[in-house]
Structures are given as structure tokens and as C-alpha cells.
Amino acid sequence: MSAEAAAGIEESVHDHGGMAEAGERRIGWAARSMPVLEAIGARFAQDRPLDGLRIAACLHVTAETAVVMGALKAGGAEIALAASNPLSTQDDVAAALSTYGIAVHARAGVDRDTYYRHIHQALDIAPNIVLDDGCDLVNILHTERVELLDEVVGGCEETTTGIIRLRQMAAENALRFPMVAVNDTRTKRMFDNRYGTGQSTLDGIMRATNLLLAGRTVVVAGFGFCGRGVAERAKGLGARVVVTEIDPVKALDAALQGYDVQPMGRAAEIGDVFVTVTGNRDVIRAEHLAVMKDGAVLANAGHFDVEIDVRALEEMAQTVHFGIRPNTDEYVLDNGRRLLLLAEGRLVNLSAAEGHPAAVMDMSFSAQALAVAWLAQEAAGLTPGVYDVPPEVDVQVARLKLGAAGIEIDALTSEQEDYLHSWRVGS
Amino acid sequence: MSAEAAAGIEESVHDHGGMAEAGERRIGWAARSMPVLEAIGARFAQDRPLDGLRIAACLHVTAETAVVMGALKAGGAEIALAASNPLSTQDDVAAALSTYGIAVHARAGVDRDTYYRHIHQALDIAPNIVLDDGCDLVNILHTERVELLDEVVGGCEETTTGIIRLRQMAAENALRFPMVAVNDTRTKRMFDNRYGTGQSTLDGIMRATNLLLAGRTVVVAGFGFCGRGVAERAKGLGARVVVTEIDPVKALDAALQGYDVQPMGRAAEIGDVFVTVTGNRDVIRAEHLAVMKDGAVLANAGHFDVEIDVRALEEMAQTVHFGIRPNTDEYVLDNGRRLLLLAEGRLVNLSAAEGHPAAVMDMSFSAQALAVAWLAQEAAGLTPGVYDVPPEVDVQVARLKLGAAGIEIDALTSEQEDYLHSWRVGS
Amino acid sequence: MSAEAAAGIEESVHDHGGMAEAGERRIGWAARSMPVLEAIGARFAQDRPLDGLRIAACLHVTAETAVVMGALKAGGAEIALAASNPLSTQDDVAAALSTYGIAVHARAGVDRDTYYRHIHQALDIAPNIVLDDGCDLVNILHTERVELLDEVVGGCEETTTGIIRLRQMAAENALRFPMVAVNDTRTKRMFDNRYGTGQSTLDGIMRATNLLLAGRTVVVAGFGFCGRGVAERAKGLGARVVVTEIDPVKALDAALQGYDVQPMGRAAEIGDVFVTVTGNRDVIRAEHLAVMKDGAVLANAGHFDVEIDVRALEEMAQTVHFGIRPNTDEYVLDNGRRLLLLAEGRLVNLSAAEGHPAAVMDMSFSAQALAVAWLAQEAAGLTPGVYDVPPEVDVQVARLKLGAAGIEIDALTSEQEDYLHSWRVGS
Amino acid sequence: MSAEAAAGIEESVHDHGGMAEAGERRIGWAARSMPVLEAIGARFAQDRPLDGLRIAACLHVTAETAVVMGALKAGGAEIALAASNPLSTQDDVAAALSTYGIAVHARAGVDRDTYYRHIHQALDIAPNIVLDDGCDLVNILHTERVELLDEVVGGCEETTTGIIRLRQMAAENALRFPMVAVNDTRTKRMFDNRYGTGQSTLDGIMRATNLLLAGRTVVVAGFGFCGRGVAERAKGLGARVVVTEIDPVKALDAALQGYDVQPMGRAAEIGDVFVTVTGNRDVIRAEHLAVMKDGAVLANAGHFDVEIDVRALEEMAQTVHFGIRPNTDEYVLDNGRRLLLLAEGRLVNLSAAEGHPAAVMDMSFSAQALAVAWLAQEAAGLTPGVYDVPPEVDVQVARLKLGAAGIEIDALTSEQEDYLHSWRVGS
């Protein structure tokens, strides 16, 4: 983290011993791959665009999140952070963040009640701006903490799943403030979803199973940006990839990219590894589990742990061997076949690997930091609803990223500018 | 073509001898790969949604265009067709179309004046609906044939280039009727631009040069849908691909896909084969030509022949050997280096190969046929401007295409439908 | 061709009019992509390693072959050339070669009898060295022209098919002189077979059919070097590739590379395009033709036209439409299904496209030229049998090729040389 | 492990508590992906082909090795095992093996002296057959334990590095018994080296660094089977791959596969991640380290830890931060640049990940088990030297593997058999 960004975290007082130190090392490592956010943090430290604002955030408590928290704090914000997923919290990072003066309400592996209590505790800050990752915090705000709604000027949502829920809320006129769909920026969808989820999902599967992927049949359920990324990486590791979809346009795209497109009913019979990444529930359910091969591996890379019907699996199992490998449970079915469930059906890339590499989080979190600054300035003029990130944010993030990677690109000549704006030129 | 679709062309009277027959064979071949359009043509023959409408079209006069003309005629339209590119006209197809009762104003290789005269002749039909491919016909209508504007209810545009010009016209309040951006449909951009332009461009380069692409450095200027397709196919043939861009987001995407991203100034020094596909002019100009390697190949896959500055090349050349290979001219520069210009800088996939394979045109032309029917019904209610194709057109086309390919996909269960519409479900 | 190489062809006297000129242009084009052979030809012109030797060659009469003929002639040889395939002869190249003082016995499209008569005519030169491509010339020499055997000191064979036949002859003690397996050099197998056959086969299929390959299922029969090349290019063009094999090791390799490996009986049911490249006969036979989909395309890229059982196809067909597209015949079967046979089942890359690009022939023909020079020097000491090309030939060819492409590589340091030669260094 | 294979390990007496249990679980997991070795073990248990033989093995002490040890023991052998690499030993597996009655001399992380002492201890068994992985055991046998040579009938070597050393010994007439080059089997080179090293190397780099590979420049030094595998997987994860080589043929192959081929001097300036996999020393040395970018990652996937000149790195470093991430040390150079060395320059796939997935070890260890059985039968008739594995071993292993994966392939018809054996059939 740059000196200026560090300004935001200077009030660190107590070191929680070795754990905070370990967290700091981890954050430092992530920060190296986040040059864009570092540059934004440095600017924020100078301009203080968030002075006096309170932020409640519900995000994965990871090293990369810590870097964006540092940038927002450098910009002047007071922050309370809860975890958006009970499994993804890195306790050492949480410890380090606490020493930076950020109120962290998160601990790895907590139960459902504690998870929700943590969100409530983060909300206790009475936020002006909310940052969400899956819409749980916004949901609670609109249902159980309505007394806080008046103070909120707006927020940001990180995930496809969350956006779907927000649009539904907006359609029902239930949404009470403007939310920026950070997920829908080009830099987020194209990069974070595709390259981040792609690599980290396969990384998680390899760490959990150490299976050779070359020659295996990997079934990817869902061919959105995330699914595309997972399919590409699986193919890049030598697997045969089968894609399942419900959208004919995406299905056709998958077929034209050379993937084998099948309904899940048939894919279930031929797959060695299954990855769900649809944003929907019960994508793999009893009827599919019933026909899978012995040794089939089940992993979820979608936001919520609802994509694989784990309850059905439990009911079908005669025996379960928990932890047969790290993050791998073996379900032995009636007919003797053994199915391997990774990370209890939760996000495999966060649970069995380390989530998105910092280099992609650099882009989505930079977009988020700039979106927060934009909200701080513009929220007053916005009605409740789901807003796109202004396109210049994307361009700015991409330009900073290219610069950090030492990549130069062309600029339009003035003749070219003119040409693009003139419709009178003939063929 | 199905019997019903053929109904639209039954008034064929005179065979123009062998040429029309050859054209008919070619059209028949294309129709085999166009099952979606065939199905739509069959429906049009029954419902006659275009009865009484006059259509002026300015399109590449190819076998695939002939199939969509057949479908529109089957739907009841009277049609006059001019060529949208002097080089792409297939004379045998033109001959065959004439025998179907469609007024064709096109001949391969005509000069600039004749090209524009042909467009005027097509406009003489006094169209209700116009179909354009590059915006030349619409441009002439708005500048030289304004007397016809009152009869026009709307139109469709096929290309990215044309859409850019139309949006500019709309921004200047110069556009006088609604135009549907057929180019912007997902089925067109994702499939026709990416897979069609991708394969046919490389096909054209191979036919023109018979060069081994494995191990060659191919520079692709522009990383839109078309550029992506060209880059993928070049990579798939074993080339090292260098991408040039002016948009930081697209440039970053190219870099993350593993392409070498460079400004053209540097790419010019290392490329063996150059393909422009930007929609802009002078992408390769004197300063770039001056530093290219001996034997470098220059090809354009963008709509207009302005992307490579051919005039600069002519001025720099001491000698030109025309037709050193089919569609290949050799320019010998002052310093003895030889540059090879394919197809005079015009669309290499149409000039040196056969344009988009029928299988992709099936999708974009099906979208166009459905868009024409939609315009026929809805145009009265639309103000001048550029309109998106209704999304259900995409879904319908994709669904028909999957069906024709024998690919089945999943449908949402009712629980899944509910889940997608409910924002109250927690994590 | 360099000035020195041209020395071998200086006695050109009569121009056979435009055809020879066209051939010369074609040869000149090929020579540009053959810098290695050009360098070798230049050296041969100086050293005259083949002075006084008579060569009978049975090769594809193409522009690339013309360049190697030039190099051998520059080296001092007297040459008679017959075509190794009735379909691949480029008549203009044959005309040009005649003007160089090389006796050419070849014409495009001749019948079987003329094909064999041409081989006999080439043998009439009473060769000291023979160059073969499929083993037909060597076969005739051992069966019908045994009186010439005494003069023969050795020869070279270009193809996998030919090597199989030669090894069988050697095993039966029937081979009467040493043959160098040019086909088995690393430069030939790795480059010519893989990259040359790969690209040109797909090129031939595209020229013949203009089918979109993205999303199509391409069945590749045989996963040797050629089959691998075809599979890679098909995949690179977006196809799903199914591989059939009889060798378990190759089949496993294909599976681990992510290909779908199936027996032909099942592949026949799902393929859109079939390419045979096995070196064996009847790879696609009646039982497979009977279950293929309507519109399936059949192409052969193996040396002989025996891999697809064309006779069976003819017997099963009710009607045949010859030339429905260039090099494409349509066989309509009893059940109404239409199968499309490309190039009559002969080498699709030579018949429907232009054969291997010159850049790969540069390597295999350079290896051949160096092998001929090696034979001229060493044959006296060799007993009859099949010999590998000396490994330094490969290294020399590859080094020249890298140099021509401007690619630099590392050299071993003396410490590294020592390390490789010392087995006493511990871990 | 099957019941029969388990027969070989039934004399397990003492359980070393939880560690042995953990090892057994790990071995059980590996055995699931090793169906071929399981089948061979079952056969061995019946036929007892190794009855009365003593084997000294120096191999990576991993779960997969344990499975092959089980098969050999099932075949009747008495076995002593030392570790071939101080870093790769899985202590729990060692504990489990001890309970099976196999003498294990190995512990993770021992120093150099202990490493060699362990090899001596394994040799104390006075072996009839030796199994080596890098040639250290064979080396010691020929230098320090010559008194044991008379009892040895032959051995097997697993690695390319070891084979190089053995061939050198044979060339100097120093090798005293036949050694089978298990490394040179097609199943080993094609599968284990390419797919096993490929995946596990990238897996190790991701676990150690969590870097996003998409868009990064990965330099692969060496393009043998292992290097090819590493390059393919890096490319498959979205990296731009630069290859360095000293062999022109391999370099050319890399270039034709689309890789950027450069000498290390230039690659050093542009690489983000470096992987050495050459079998040689000092591939990355001071002159290269001096020009690398800040943050460059250095990993070795070659057998010995000599490929990166770690001593030079230590000398150039002002500070070293050990363990900045697991298996990652940071060297800060004079000029402030930070280089990250993974696994101390030792095998990154074994140290930072789990080595080759069991599915590939299944093939190479099956080949080894069959080679040991072959040696047991044939060694008497063999003179000292390096021998290839009999080709039928490859075919047998591949056929069993295909069967286990449910993949069927074609068989030759009798007409096809005849065709392949007849050289008299014309074109």
C-alpha cells in the first residue's frame, strides 16, 4: 500500500499479536497486485472525497477487501465491515483490519445466526453508504432495520446474484435508495467474473482433489461471464467441457465455441467434475445425482450455496465421509456410488482456494471505490433504483491497469475522430 | 428452400441460361445451411406479413442474401436489390434472383459511378422499407432522394459501420424514420461478427496467399466482435496474435486473453500478416507501412476500404505487380521491401473467399426477416431513431438454430423461476 | 530463387507460352517462403555434390517441388519427374519445369494407365537415385523394371504410407537398395505432417464447402502427426473434434488432450465432417455410411484414396450430383440422406486447396535435398534397408529456418555442456 | 487398493498412530485414480512374479509411490525405499508404508547428509533390482557401494535427468548392469511428463502465489515433454508464453505452435513468471536475474534444484524475506527490485503442490511395475546398458487406462491388417 493510502490506517493502535501481523503480510502481498487501487487510494488520501461518511460493508473479508477498505478510509470514510460469506473470512486479515481502525464483525466458519448478527452489528454504524455482495445487507436493511433507511444515500452491489435481487426489489418498488450495479461494469463482468472466477474455481478444485483435469469431462452449468471463465480454464487444463444452459442465445454461443451443450439430465451421466455457476437454485438435484458416475466431483462457484441440492444429496447418502481430503466430503449412495462434494456446496474458489487473485479484484474494487466517490457526489440527485457505473469509471480503471502492466495502446487521430462522427462519407 | 418459401419466387419465367442455373445451385447450397430462415420463410408464406410492401435493399448480392430475399418475397413484399459492395456481387446469384421476380441492380466489379447508379435504381421502387448494409442507401435517400422519404416507414441496418453513421445522423436530428439496428442483436454480434468474420477472413487470406499461418505473427487491428473472431481463428491456426486497440477496456480484455497488445507503431515492425477490422479509417498508414517487414501481407476485414491507406501505399511504391496471386497485389517500396495488399484493401472475406458461411448468415438474416415483419407491424408507432431489435427475436432465432442442430437445453423449473423473482431469500 | 539456385535452370530455352510463365510466377511465390531450400540450393550450386547423378522422382508436381528440383539441378543432377498423384499436378508448374531442362511426365487429371506410364517414363532415365512419395515408383522398379535396379544406389521416401510399405519390403528382404525415410525426420513429421497437413486439409474443406466449422462436429480418423494437425486446426476453427484410433497409446493421448475419442461406429452417427488420415484402407465403410447424418461431409487427407470406401458409397447411392460445389459430389442414399464426398476421396488438401504451404515444404524438401547429398556420398557403404535421415540434417534445417524467421535461441555454456556429460554430480 | 494388492501389505504390525492413518487415507485417495496399477497389483498377487527379489528404491515418497510399492510387494518383492528428494516426502505416507512392512528411509526436509545416508540405508538391503529417480542411488552404488554390484541384475530409471546420466555412464563403460529407461516409454513421456508436470507445476505456482495468470507473461525454459506440458497449461490459463530452448528443432516446434521463442537474455526482461524445466544447470543465472522486472516469480520444475542459480540470487540480494507466502521467498536486489523464488528452486510441483496427480502416476508406475516384472524374467540375458521399455508394455498400460475411463476404440479389420502388410498395392 502506498504511503498515502496508509494514511487512512495510521491509527492502528493495538497489534493483536501474530495474527494481525500475518494478516498484514497477506494484505501487503495482495496490494502488490493492486496498483490501480493503490493509485486511487493515493488520490483519495489527498482529496478526501468521503470525509464524514459512514459506510457499512458486507463483503468477503479477504486481503483484497482490506486494500479497498484502506483506500476508502484514506478517502475519509468511517467503516464497519461484516462478512458476506461465513466460509471466506480470513481471520488474520480481520485482525489486521481491526488494528487499522476499521470495525470488523467477522470470523471464519461462524453459524447462520452469528452471520446475521454480524451484519446487524455492521449496520449499527448507521451507514450513509452501503457496500453489498449478494444483497443480504441491503435486504436486512429493508426488512429488519428500516429505521436506518433515512440516513442511507446509496450503495453498491458486487454480484450478479445481488443485482438480480435488487432489480426485483426495484420492480416491486421496494428499493428505497439508489444502488450502483458495480457488478455490471465492463471491468467487473469481463475481468473479475471471467478471469477471476475462472482461475480460482479450477484452483480450488485442484487444491481440494489434486485430480488430473486433462481428459476429464467437466460439466459447467451456466454460461454467463463466470461460467465462460470456468469453461475456458477447464478447457485450458485439457478437460472436455460440457455446458448446460437455459438461455438459448448463451447455449448457442457455447456450441459455436466448440463446447458440447447438453441438458443437465444427460450431462449428469457423463461428467467427472460438475461446476454450478448459474445464480439459480437446485441446478443439480436428486434426479441428476441419481445418474452420476462413481467418483463424480460436485463444486459450486455461484454466489449462494443453493445451486447444488445438498439436502437431496444428504438424503440419498447411506454414509458420508467428511474431510476425505481438505474441503472434500464423500457421499456414498445406495447403489454404492461415491459422490464428492467440495466445500459443502459453497463457493469453491473462496473455500478451497483463496478467491479471486488480487489482480482482478484490483479492477472491480477500483470500480467500486470510484463508484462510492461518485455516489458521495451525485446520490442527492438520484431516485431509488439500480444504476450503472458511469462508463468513464471503466475506461479510467482499464487505462490505469494497462499503464501498470506497461501496455501502450493507440489513440485516435483527429481524422479518425472526424470519420467516426461523420455519416456523409461514402463507401 | 422449402416449397412454401419457394412460393415467393414462383413467377420465375425466363432462365438467363447457365448463369442463372449456376446461381440457383449456389443458392440451394446456401439454403441447406439456413434452416432457421427456411422455417421463417415457410411461416411468412402462410401469414403474408409483408403483403403490399415495397422494399429497397442494398446488401451484398450473395447466395445467402438470395435466401432472405426469397423469405421476404414469400411474405408478400415487392423487392428491388442493389449491391452494397462492388466486389462482392456473385453474378450468377444476381441472374438467378432476376428469374425469381426480384429486381436486381448489381454486377461484379463495377466502378464507383455504376455502384451509386445501382442504389438509385433500387430506390426507384419508392420503398416503404429499406434494408441497408453500411448506410449508403439510407445516406443517399436523405441527401439526393429526399422526395422518397415520405413513403418510407422504416428500415434495418446490418453493419457496425452503418450503425455508427445512423446514430450520428440521429444525434444531428437528420434521421427521418426509424431504423432497426439488426447489427446490434446478440445473434448478429455474437455469431455473425465473431464466427462468420473470423473464419471467412482467415479463409480469404489462405486462398489469396496459401501462407502457413502457424508461427506467423498476425496483427489484428480492433478487438470488437469481429476483431475477436479474427484473433481467435488466427490463434487457432497457430499464429502469434498481436492486437491493437484504442479502447482501454477492449485492450485490457485482449491482454487478459493472452494476446500481445501493442500500439500499431510497434506492431507494424513485427507483423507478418495485418488484418484491420475497426470501422475506422487509416488504421494502417504511411508511418506504419514504412517500417513493415519484407513480405508483410495487408488485409482488411472492416466494412469500407478505408482502413488501410491504399493511397499512401501507392505513393510509396516504386513498382506494383498486380495479381501476383489471385486477389494479391505486390507493392515494391523504395527500400526494396515488398508489401502484399489483398483484395485492394476491400473486405478480404468477401473478395478472396465467399463471405460469411451460410450458417451464420442464417442467424443474422433470420433476425433481419423477423425485424422487417416487426417493422411492418409497429413502425407506425415509432419516431425516427435507431432501435434495437426486440430481444425475443434473438431468443426465437437462437432457439430455432439449436433445434436445427439437434441441441437440447434445460428449462427453468417453477421453483427456479420463483427463486429468480424473489429477493427475500437469504444466503 | 537465388541467382545461384537459378544456375541449375539456366538452360531454359523455349517458353511454352503463358502457361510456363504462370508456372514460373507460382514457383517464384513458393520460393519466397522457402528460404532454407534457397540457401541449400545456393550452396549446391557452388559445391556440385550431385554432379553426374541421374535422379528419377515421383512427387506431387507443385510449385514447391519445382523449387527442390531447382536445388538438385543446381547441385549437378539430371532429373526426370513423374507425378505421385493424378490430381495434384499443377500443369503450369510442369510447363515451367520443362523450360528449366527437367524432364516432366505429368498432367493434371490423367487416368490410371497414364499415371503408371508416366512413372515408367521417369524411370527410363535409368536413375542412380530415386525420390518417391508413396512408394509407387520404388514398387514398379522392384516388380516391372528390375533391369534398372543395378544402377540405383539409393533413394528417399516422403510419406508415412510409403515408409510402411518400404519397411514391409525390407522385412521380406525384397528391398534392393538403401532408402532414406525422409518422412521420419523430426522436421518432416513434426512440421510438414502436423502443420502442413493440418492447415491445408481444413483449407481444402473450406474452399470445397464454405461450411462454418465453429460448432460443427469434426471426426478425425487417425491421430498420428497428420491427424493431430488436422484435429488441432479443426479445434482452432471452433469445431468439436472426435478422434478415432486403433492404437491405444495414441487414443489415450487424444483423450488427454481433451478430444472425444470414439470408435468410428459411434462417431459416424454424430459427425458433421469426417477426415480420414490413417494410412489405412476402408476406415469409413458401408456400415458407417449407413448411419451418418444428412449432409455429412467426407474428406480424405491420407496419401491414397482408399481410406473412404468410395465404391461402397457409390453402391449405396440412388443418385449422385457431381460438382454440386467445386470438388464436391453429393451422394443421395436410399433413405434420402445426402452425403458429400470431397475430391472423390483423394487428398483433399491437394485437390481442393493447394497442398502444403511452401513454408513447411521448405523444411521437408530441404531435408530431402540434404539427404540426397548424403546418399550421394554415403550410399556405397550402405546395405539395402530403410535408413533414418542423419539427425544433423534436422538440426541444420531447423537452424536455417529459425534464422530465416529472425528467431534467436540460446546456446549451452561450457558449464552446461559439462553438466550434461557428467553423471557424477549429485542432487 | 484392491483386496489382492492389499495382500502384499497385510503384515502391517504397528500403527504409528494418527500419522499412519492419515497416510493411509491419502494412499487410498490416490489409489482411486490408479485403476491400471490396481489391476496389475491384483495380477501380481496371483502370479507372484517377483518372489524372492530384493528391491532398493529411491523415489519421491508420495501416496502414488506407495501404491506401486504395494503392487511390487504383492508380486513377492522385499523392498527398501529412500526418498529421491528431501522436499517431497509425505511423512504420513512414509508412516503408513512402514506399517505395510516396507522399510522406509525418508523424512520431509532432511539435510544433505541425511538424504545420502537414507540412500545408503536403502541399499543395505543388497538389492537385486533398483528403482531410481534421478540416478543418485545408481550413482552411489557405482561409486561408494561397489561391493553390492554383483547382486544387482538390473534397474529402472524414472526421469529424463537420470537417463542423461545413465547414457553418459554407459558411454564411458561405467554402467555395470542393465537399466530400463522407464522415463522413455511413450506412456511416461507423453502423459506423465506432459500432463502431470504441466498441471502440477501451474498448480504449485498458484498455491504459492495466488497470482492471476491471465495476461501474465510466463517464460518456460525448455520445450521437452515437460516444458511442452507447462507451456500448454500456462497458455490454457490465459498467459502469454515465451519459450527458451537450445535445440533448434524444439525451438522451431515451439514457434510453429504459436509460442514466442526468445533467448533467455531477452525473455528475462519481459517475463512475469519463469519456469525452468530443462534438465540442465544455471538456466537462469546472474546475467538474467540482473534484468528481470520487479516482482518476477522464479520456479523450477526440472528434477534437480540447479536450474535456477540460487547462489547467484543470494549474492545479489540485499535482503531476503523468507516465507512471504507459503513456499515463497522474496529476494530484494540492490536496485530495489524484488524477485520471488518458489520452493527454494526445488521442484515446485512437488514442494508447493502435491506432485503429479495420481491419474498420471498410474501410467508411469504401471509401466514401471511391468518393467520390473520384465527385468525379473529377462535380466539374465541382458548386457549392461540403457534399455527401452518393451513397446507392448506401453500398449498394455494404455489399453487398461482407456478401459478404466470407459473409452472404446477401433480394431483393425483383417483387410486392414493385410493392407498394412502388403507393399504391392498401388495408388
Res B25: pLDDT? 87
Q: How far apart are the CA of C307 and the nearest CA of chain B, in angstroms?
A: 25
Out of A196-200, D8-12, D358-362, the most confident range is A196-200
Res C159: pLDDT? 86
Mean pLDDT of C35-39: 95
Comparing alpha-carbon positions, the chain D residue that sits nearest to C399 is: D248
Residue A14 reports pLDDT greater than 60: no
Q: Is B398 an interface residue toward A (CB < 8 Å)? A: yes
Q: How far apart are the CA of B17 and the nearest CA of chain A, in angstroms?
A: 33
Res B303: pLDDT? 84
Q: Is D92 an interface residue toward A (CB < 8 Å)? A: no
- Of D317 and B426, which is predicted with more confidence? D317
- Of A267 and D9, which is predicted with more confidence? A267
CA distance linking residue B99 with residue B70, whole number of Å: 12
- Contact between A296 and A274 (Cβ < 8 Å): yes
Res A17: pLDDT? 60
CA distances for D189 relative to A126, D226, D361, D363, angstroms: 63, 8, 11, 10
Give me the residues paired with residue C298 across strands.
C274, C341
Res B423: pLDDT? 55
Nearest-CB residue to A256 (from C215, C257, C260): C215
B62 is in an annotated binding site: yes
Residue A63 reports pLDDT greater than 80: yes
Phi-psi region of C363 (alpha: psi -120 to 50; beta: other; left: phi over 0): alpha
CB contact under 8 A, C249 and D139: no
Percent of chain B with pLDDT over 90: 79
CA distance linking residue D402 with residue C255, whole number of Å: 9
Q: How far apart are the CA of C259 and the nearest CA of chain A, in angstroms?
A: 7
CB contact under 8 A, C239 and A258: yes
Q: How far apart are the CA of B27 and the nearest CA of chain D, in angstroms?
A: 37
CB-defined contacts A:C, below 8 A: 31
- Contact between B184 and B163 (Cβ < 8 Å): yes
Nearest-CB residue to A29 (from D207, D324, D405): D324
CB-defined contacts A:D, below 8 A: 90
pLDDT digits (tens, 9 = 90+) for B227-274: 999 999 999 999 999 999 999 999 999 999 999 999 999 999 999 999
Comparing alpha-carbon positions, the chain B residue that sits nearest to D270 is: B260
The residue with cell 487416368 is C111
D28 is in an annotated binding site: no
CA distance linking residue B374 with residue A325, whole number of Å: 58
D223 is in an annotated binding site: yes
Q: Is B263 an interface residue toward D (CB < 8 Å)? A: no
Q: Is C214 an interface residue toward A (CB < 8 Å)? A: yes
Which three-class secondary structure state does DSSP give residue C328?
Answer: strand
Furthest CA-CA distance within chain A:
74
CA distance linking residue C260 with residue A242, whole number of Å: 11
CB contact under 8 A, C237 and B199: yes
DSSP state of B184: G
Of C76, C78, C79, nearest in space to C104 by CA: C79
CA distance linking residue B150 with residue B176, whole number of Å: 9
CA distance linking residue A275 with residue A205, whole number of Å: 9
**Choice among A136-145, B74-83, D86-95 with the minimum mean pLDDT:** D86-95
Mean pLDDT of D103-109: 93
CA distance linking residue D346 with residue D324, whole number of Å: 17
The confidence band for A334, taking pLDDT boundaries of 50, 70 and 90, is: confident
pLDDT digits (tens, 9 = 90+) for C131-149: 999 999 999 999 999 999 9
This prediction has a pTM of: 0.89
Res C17: pLDDT? 60
Q: What percent of chain B is helix, strand and coil (3-state, nearest 5)? A: 50, 15, 35
CB contact under 8 A, B164 and A420: yes
- Contact between A205 and A351 (Cβ < 8 Å): no
Q: Is A265 an interface residue toward D (CB < 8 Å)? A: no
| Average pLDDT score over chain B | 91
CB contact under 8 A, C410 and D249: no
Residue A424 reports pLDDT greater than 80: no
Q: Is B419 an interface residue toward C (CB < 8 Å)? A: no
User: Which other chains touch chain C, taking contact as 3+ CB pairs less than 8 Å apart?
Assistant: A, B, D
CB contact under 8 A, A191 and B134: no
pLDDT digits (tens, 9 = 90+) for C364-399: 899 999 999 999 999 889 999 999 999 889 999 999
Q: Is D146 an interface residue toward C (CB < 8 Å)? A: no
Comparing alpha-carbon positions, the chain C residue that sits nearest to A256 is: C215
Q: Is C416 an interface residue toward D (CB < 8 Å)? A: yes
Q: How far apart are the CA of C262 and the nearest CA of chain A, in angstroms?
A: 13
CB contact under 8 A, A238 and D199: yes
Q: Is A196 an interface residue toward D (CB < 8 Å)? A: yes
CA distances for A84 relative to A149, A262, D74, D78, angstroms: 20, 33, 52, 56
Alpha helices, H only, B292-344: 310-316
Print the SS3 string covering chain D. Answer: CCHHHHHCCCCCCCCCCHHHHHHHHHHHHHHHCCHHHHHHHHHHHHHCCCCCCEEEEEECCCHHHHHHHHHHHHCCCEEEEEECCCCCCCHHHHHHHHHCCCEEECCCCCCHHHHHHHHHHHHCCCCCEEEECCCHHHHHHHHCCHHHHHHCCEEEECCHHHHHHHHHHHHCCCCCCEEEEHHHCHHHHHHHHHHHHHHHHHHHHHHHHCCCCCCCEEEEECCCHHHHHHHHHHHHCCCEEEEECCCHHHHHHHHHCCCEECCHHHHHHHCCEEEECCCCCCCECHHHHCCCCCCCEEEECCCCCCCECHHHHHHHEEEEEEEEECCEEEEEECCCCEEEEEHHHCEHHHHCCCCCCHHHHHHHHHHHHHHHHHHHHHHHHCCCEEECCCHHHHHHHHHHHHHHCCCCCCCCCHHHHHHHHCCCCCC
Suggest the residue from B193, B209, B210, B337 to mutate for an interface test with chain C (most C CBs closer than 10 A). B210
Q: Is C259 an interface residue toward A (CB < 8 Å)? A: yes
Furthest CA-CA distance within chain C:
74
pLDDT digits (tens, 9 = 90+) for B244-254: 999 999 999 99
Res B88: pLDDT? 80
CB contact under 8 A, D255 and C407: yes
Phi and psi for C237 in degrees, rounded to 5? -95, 5
CB-defined contacts B:C, below 8 A: 89
Res B160: pLDDT? 82
pLDDT digits (tens, 9 = 90+) for B166-206: 999 999 999 999 999 987 787 777 788 899 999 999 999 99
Q: What angle do CA B207, B209, B215 make, to 5 degrees?
A: 110
CB contact under 8 A, C280 and D412: yes
CB contact under 8 A, D358 and A199: no
The confidence band for D280, taking pLDDT boundaries of 50, 70 and 90, is: very high
Mean pLDDT of B284-307: 96
The confidence band for A423, taking pLDDT boundaries of 50, 70 and 90, is: low
Comparing alpha-carbon positions, the chain A residue that sits nearest to D352 is: A207
- Contact between A56 and A33 (Cβ < 8 Å): no
ipTM of the complex: 0.86
D228 is in an annotated binding site: yes
Of A18, A28, A6, nearest in space to A100 by CA: A6
B192 is in an annotated binding site: yes
Nearest-CB residue to C212 (from B235, B353, B360): B360
Residue D377 reports pLDDT greater than 80: yes
The length of chain A, given as a count of residues: 427
Res D13: pLDDT? 32
D133 is in an annotated binding site: yes
Q: Which residues 21-60 of A have a C-beta within 8 angstroms of B? A: none
CB contact under 8 A, D255 and C394: no
Strands A103-105 and A78-83: parallel
Res C81: pLDDT? 97
Residue D426 reports pLDDT greater than 70: no
Of D239, B134, C256, nearest in space to A199 by CA: D239
Q: Is A215 an interface residue toward C (CB < 8 Å)? A: yes
Phi and psi for A154 in degrees, rounded to 5? 170, 180
C-alpha cell at D64: 502414488
Give me the residues paired with residue C338 across strands.
C332
The confidence band for C426, taking pLDDT boundaries of 50, 70 and 90, is: very low
CB contact under 8 A, D281 and C134: no
Burial A208-225 (b: 16+ CB within 10 A, else e): bbbbbbbbbbbbbbbbbb
Res A308: pLDDT? 98
Contacts of C233 in chain A (CB under 8 A): none
D158 is in an annotated binding site: yes
pLDDT digits (tens, 9 = 90+) for A392-421: 899 999 999 999 999 999 999 999 998 887
CA distances for C259 relative to A99, A199, C232, C329, angstroms: 53, 22, 10, 29
Task: Kindly state the helix (H) or strand (E) to which residue B263 belongs, with its residue range.
Answer: none
User: Is the sign of the CA dihedral D202, D205, D207, D213 positive or negative?
Assistant: negative
CB contact under 8 A, A359 and D211: yes
Contacts of C214 in chain A (CB under 8 A): 256-258
CA distance linking residue A189 with residue A169, whole number of Å: 22
Where does residue B251 rank: exposed (0-12), middle (13-18), buried (19+ CB within 10 A)?
buried
CA distance linking residue D402 with residue C246, whole number of Å: 12
